[in-house]
Amino acid sequence: MGIGGVFFRAGDPAQLAAWYEQHLGVNSGLQGDITWQQEAGPTVWAPFPQDSDYFGRPEQQVMVNFRVRDLDAMLAQLHDSGIDPDDEVVEAAGVGRTIAVGAHEQALADARARQADPTWVADYRATRPKVERKLGHLMRRRHGGRRARVGGTDRVDTDFRFLAGAVNLARLATLRVRGTASGWVVTA
């Protein structure tokens, strides 16, 4: 017995299939006429608890591991394509050496390329201090420091959104901006 196919949803299946084919040599078979012939080897079949963070965010329901003949050659090939995965190689008993690489690596490589542009750097340097200052101001004002008063990313996100909304409403009131049936107006 073995795995006959791996099926998963993607926002842009054609783009993701092209990424896997270009960087990992995996033909997707999107048209139904191509199948990927894999080499024999061990396969781990392991259900995880719903709240496991082993392979990413909770909405990521599937993780697929690929076997390669030469992990170091694969890493060199990815580096040559401008993709720098997390270089932490993990030794797994009975399975071998593993490394985490995903389609998001291409987005990170693209972002790094954009960040090399002097225009982007200038804009970032002009904008970041303002954003950092405002975030620091909001947190100090509300909580007396930079720490959030709640735990968990969802709770921190919700708390910060409510805080930012309250601050913005207060600013609108200070600016004497009022909502009317026809839109927003500045009152005297």
Under-50 pLDDT residues of the chain: 1
Same domain as 50, residue 99: yes
Task: Write down the pLDDT at residue 36.
Answer: 67
pLDDT at 27: 74
Write down the pLDDT at residue 173.
Answer: 85
The answer as to whether 118 is a domain residue is no
Same domain, 164 and 105: no
Contact 23, 83 (CB under 8 A): yes
Instruction: Kindly state whether residue 117 falls inside one of the protein's structural domains.
Output: no
pLDDT score, position 99: 75
pLDDT of residue 119: 92
Tens digits of per-residue pLDDT, 61-114? Answer: 777 777 777 888 888 888 787 777 766 777 777 667 777 776 676 777 778 888
> Which 3-state string (H, E, C) describes 38-76?
CCCCCCCCCCCCCCCCCCCCCCCCCCCCCCCCCHHHHHH
List all residues 6 or more positions away from 4 whose beta carbon is below 8 Å from its beta carbon. none
Q: What's the whole-model pTM score?
A: 0.43
Residue 66 sits in which domain range?
Answer: 13-111
Residues 79 and 154 in one domain: no
φ, ψ of residue 180 to 5 degrees: the values are: -125, 175
